[in-house]
């Protein structure tokens, strides 16, 4: 029986051996926790690299995973830097194209951390560029290098995430940005006590995105199970 395959995006890092903005100027890597989460669910992980057309890459997979990363350049959602740090444009731009191609092809999508933000920006939303300075009575969502910050998230009844995680769950976060609002065609699936959007799902049931890191906390297996339910439905 053929296994389910997931296309998973990679971190982009500048290669100091090349001049900036030249071919070959990037290195690609991925934290092994993402791979471990997929393998526990019997999913084959296939790295998505920015070569060739997005459609050619997506032909080989059953769903797409948009992984975590840095701060997308606010110019991508039409504003100036106002709290974002070390902004990235190349990777978010490419991943938005990959996401839009997946949507046109009817391929399910799981967004994780920056992946949720990529979905939101691609669909027309803006980001809160710094939770600590923009949200009233904010929780610590950022954590420390290598150590997520754990906090509760309330799930919305009727969502896929609520079916698999229940009313509330403790999650591990590595982010200082969040969506201002969910875009048209989506609905909030979870939020933290300070009102920050922690999860959303598309109205058509094909996209599930979380602001936390399920690959690093106890929610990973349930989140993946929810996505595999979407994949099964898409293939039926």
CATH architecture observed for domain 5-235: 3-Layer(aba) Sandwich (3.40)
Angle at 195 between CA 189 and CA 200, to 5 degrees: 20
What mean pLDDT is predicted for residues 30-42? 97
What mean pLDDT is predicted for residues 39-66? 94
Write down the domain spans for the chain.
Answer: 5-235
Give the pLDDT band of residue 236 (cuts 50, 70, 90). Answer: low
Q: Are 45 and 35 in contact (CB under 8 A)?
A: yes
pLDDT at 147: 83
pLDDT at 216: 95
pLDDT at 14: 85
pLDDT at 21: 61
Burial of 46 (0-12, 13-18, 19+ CB in 10 A): middle
pLDDT at 51: 82
Is pTM, for the whole model, over 0.75? yes
What mean pLDDT is predicted for residues 181-194? 98
């Amino acid at each position: 029986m053929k296994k389910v395959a997931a296309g998973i995006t990679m971190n982009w890092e500048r290669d100091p051996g090349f001049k900036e903005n030249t071919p070959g100027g990037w290195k690609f890597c991925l934290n092994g926790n993402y791979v471990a989460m997929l393998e526990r669910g019997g999913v084959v992980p296939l790295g998505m690299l920015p070569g060739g057309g997005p459609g050619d890459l997506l032909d080989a997979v059953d769903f797409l995973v948009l992984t975590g990363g840095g701060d997308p350049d606010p110019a991508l959602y039409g504003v100036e830097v106002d709290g974002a740090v070390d902004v990235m444009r190349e990777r978010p731009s490419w991943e938005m194209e990959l996401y839009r191609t997946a949507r046109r092809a009817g391929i399910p999508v799981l967004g994780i951390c920056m992946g949720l933000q990529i979905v939101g920006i691609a669909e027309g939303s803006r980001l809160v560029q710094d939770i600590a300075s923009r949200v009233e009575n904010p929780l610590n969502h950022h954590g420390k290098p290598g150590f997520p910050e754990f906090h509760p998230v309330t799930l919305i009844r009727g969502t896929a995430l609520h079916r698999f995680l229940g009313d509330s769950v403790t999650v591990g976060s590595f982010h200082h940005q969040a969506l201002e609002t969910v875009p048209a065609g989506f609905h909030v699936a979870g939020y933290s006590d300070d009102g920050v959007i922690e999860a959303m799902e598309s109205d058509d049931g094909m996209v599930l995105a979380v602001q936390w890191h399920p690959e690093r906390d106890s929610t990973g297996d349930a989140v993946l199970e929810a996505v595999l339910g979407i994949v099964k439905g898409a293939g039926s």
